[in-house]
């Protein structure tokens, strides 16, 4: 009977959500043969608008959308406004696309404080300015008290892939190196701490940031860059599993190499969470050829958004069966890093 | 004190919403001089992505976003799925843009029936196929029971302006003719009737439809077409006032010429509504030069989506003050057709 109704875990970024998306969305909107941009389930779609009149279609574009339902609306280090701009800019950046045009659609609950809305919009505007992206269109709806949770924001975005380069899972090869641009778990723990009023609140700030400038530095450092991915819902574990699955490879990650702030590690212990499943909103997973990994690492560490970047693992040949991602643990063992199933932390973005 | 909190009427598509958008959105996201695509408040933004590498930017694009919060989710003649695709396709069509790529972002309430979701997505997919538009990216969020009203959908869209032509209020000139592509008020009354369980339900169906094929026929018939606009929230009255205001002209509309179904007129009488304020989801307001109006009218009437099209008025010189839109009534008088203030029918789209 559970399958008759939508559950919270259907939106958690894990196995259950992938199943919902495949059964309800791809089955209806993808081409019958399972191909097409939508079926790639990438952070953004690559489109090259055809033009019947024969005018040149220009550089390829990236197009992406995300709705933001985070609770609370303001949290340590950010708010839903900064999150909505950053999340969409970062999805575009994952395709190597400079953000050029953003949309901003608000669903407001009757009774929302205008002062709070004002602070959130100030924050969104500042985030857009940080990366030179213009909000060019929008929409405003108001629903009755009790019909929404204060404020939901949808931002969609168009980016230009100026280099024309193709980034994505399908570029990944055995022997490539896997990097992360900084500490993991900060966003999820910051939101959770505010929500639960936990005592570690002061120590953990969300990492929410628009990352296009960092992506630009990585692109410049790695002419054969394979893939960028932002490990949001489902955390690093979901991002690595999605990449490995789509690329039909395996990955081996070195647990000790993954940067984690002590306060975040402590909070995860208290909450019984695996930090590798916790959401990030200002980080990239980077896959680069082995001989370009050092240059990527240096470029990230030189950048304010990537000071704590690290090489965390490598890409191995795929196998027909068996786990996609394994973790070499601190004590020298090896365990499977599974795709999270449902939802450790609901309403995190 | 009312100004401290968001009210339902802030989302009604009328005067109050324009005020909210100017004060909260344009003040933050528009250029300081009040220019830019966002400030045009058109149905979609026109963008011509610049490209630093010097590759040609190609044909201009249209970009738009809308969130859909209609209640009930299914209504006579349509549902939120068909509405979400149609509304976004129609906003693109208002700029003369063929829809090429759509996004689909779902906010699901925990406990939503999967069978209902399935019907709505079937309907959305069918609407997209009608106009050859591909859904290329999406997002799925689930919020706790009581935090949303079953289902909210955001669709954004990218269209290609293949002709390169500029449509919009700024093209409108005194002497132009104003047309509407069919009967008005059908959508709003269909939703309202289902919501209130009114007895006229059977007789009124929503007009919700993706109109790109009709726009293409109009573009072909009118080489100097001025503007297309879809009269959704706030109805014909809001659409005409927005066009006249942005064009700095006046319009005179002939009330008897505006097509209205008898069942819709009757329902408006019962409900105390002005049919000219009631939402449409499958109609265009068209402004064309006088010498092309006849060709536009014929082209629309030949098309299944425009069989009941009519010339309803004309554009006059603007004045520094005074009403923008006047109505010649059936009994020969003249009255001001005002911009609706707040919201006659909440949650209509």
- Concatenating the DSSP letter of every residue in A147-202 gives SBSSEEEEEEEEEE-TT----SGGG--TT-EEEESS-SSHHHHHHHHHHHT-TTGG
Can you tell me the mean pLDDT for B130-157? Answer: 95
Interface A-B: count of C-beta contacts within 8 A: 298
Gap between the Cα atoms of B14 and B266, Å rounded? 24
CA–CA gap between residue B88 and residue B156 (Å, rounded): 6
DSSP one-letter code for A276: G
The residue among B195 and A237 whose pLDDT is bigger is: A237
Residue pointed to by tokens 């969130």: B67
Residue keyed to tokens 């399935």:
B118
- The pLDDT, as a whole number, for residue A52 is 45
Dihedral angle over CA of A97, A98, A100, A101, nearest 10: 50
Mean pLDDT throughout B296-301?
98
pLDDT at B52 over 80: no
Residue B190, pLDDT > 90, answer yes
**H or E, element range at A39:** helix A37-40
pLDDT at B14 over 80: yes
- What confidence score (pLDDT) does residue B341 get? 86
- B148–A144 CB contact, under 8 Å: no
Q: Are A162 and A98 in contact (CB under 8 A)?
A: yes
Q: Which of chain B's residues have a Cβ under 8 Å away from the Cβ of A67?
A: 105-107, 139, 141, 152, 154
What is the pLDDT, as a whole number, of residue A51? 47
Chain B closest-CA separation from residue A232 CA (Å): 13
Q: Which of B9, B15, B65 to mutate to test the interface with A (most CBs of A within 10 A)?
A: B65
- The reply to whether A232 touches chain B by the CB within 8 Å rule is no
Over residues A256-273, the mean pLDDT reads 94
> Is the pLDDT score of B51 beyond 60?
no
Q: Is the pLDDT of residue B268 over 70?
A: yes
Write down the pLDDT at residue A201.
Answer: 56
For residues A295 and A72, give the distance between their C-alpha atoms in angstroms, rounded to a whole number: 39
Min CA distance, A85 vs chain B (Å)? 12
Token pair for residue A52? 């019947």
Q: Please give the residue that has the higher pLDDT: either A193 or A127.
A: A127
pLDDT of the residue at A1: 46
* Chain centroid offset of residue A57 CA: 29
Q: Looking at the predicted structure, is the pLDDT value of residue B54 above 50? A: no
| 3-class DSSP state of A67 | strand
Taking only the tens place, the pLDDT of each residue in B159-169 is 999 999 999 99
Averaged pLDDT score across all residues of chain B: 92
Note the pLDDT tens digit of each residue in A117-174. Answer: 999 999 999 999 999 999 999 999 999 999 999 999 999 999 999 999 999 999 999 9
Give the lowest-confidence range in A28-32, A277-281, B169-173.
A28-32
The mean pLDDT of A259-276, rounded to a whole number, is 94
* Mean pLDDT for all residues in chain A: 92
Q: Does the model's pTM come out above 0.90?
A: yes
Token readout for B93 is 């069509």
Chain A neighbors of B9, CB-CB under 8 A: 142
Between B311 and B348, name the one with better pLDDT.
B311
Cα torsion A118, A122, A127, A130 to 10°: value is: 170
Whether B149 sits inside 8 A of A152 (CB atoms) is no
Interhelix angle A290-302/A212-221, rounded to 10 degrees, is: 140
Structure-token match 């404080």, residue found? A113
């Amino acid at each position: 009977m559970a399958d008759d109704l939508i559950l919270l875990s259907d939106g958690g970024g894990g196995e259950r959500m992938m199943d919902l998306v495949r059964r309800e969305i791809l089955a209806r909107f993808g081409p019958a043969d399972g191909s097409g941009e939508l079926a790639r389930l990438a952070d953004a779609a690559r489109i090259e608008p055809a033009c019947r009149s024969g005018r040149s279609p220009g550089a390829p574009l990236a197009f992406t959308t995300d709705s933001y339902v985070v609770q609370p609306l303001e949290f340590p280090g950010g708010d839903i406004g900064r999150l909505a701009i950053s999340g969409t800019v970062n999805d575009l950046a994952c395709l190597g696309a400079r953000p050029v045009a953003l949309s901003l659609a608000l669903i407001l609950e009757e009774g929302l404080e205008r002062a709070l809305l004002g602070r959130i919009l100030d924050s969104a505007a500042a985030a857009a300015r940080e990366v030179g992206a213009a909000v060019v269109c929008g929409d405003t709806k108001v629903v009755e008290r009790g019909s929404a949770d204060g404020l939901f924001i949808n931002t969609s975005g168009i980016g230009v892939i100026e280099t024309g380069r193709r980034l994505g899972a399908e570029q990944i090869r055995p022997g490539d190196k896997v990097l992360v641009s900084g500490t993991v778990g900060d966003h999820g723990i910051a939101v959770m701490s505010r929500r639960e009023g936990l005592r570690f609140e002061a120590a953990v700030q969300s990492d929410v940031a628009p990352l296009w400038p960092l992506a630009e530095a990585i692109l410049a450092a790695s002419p054969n860059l394979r893939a960028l991915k932002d490990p949001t819902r489902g955390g690093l574990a979901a991002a690595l599993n999605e990449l490995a699955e789509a690329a039909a490879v395996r990955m081996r990650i070195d647990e000790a190499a993954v940067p984690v702030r002590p306060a975040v590690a402590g909070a995860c212990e208290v909450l019984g969470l695996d930090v590798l499943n916790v959401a990030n909103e200002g980080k990239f997973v980077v896959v680069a050829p082995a001989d370009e990994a050092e240059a990527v690492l240096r470029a990230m560490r030189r950048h304010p958004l990537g000071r704590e970047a690290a090489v965390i693992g490598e890409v191995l040949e795929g196998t027909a069966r068996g786990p996609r991602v394994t973790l070499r643990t601190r004590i020298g063992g090896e365990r499977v890093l599974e795709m999270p199933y449902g939802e450790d932390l609901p309403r995190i973005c």
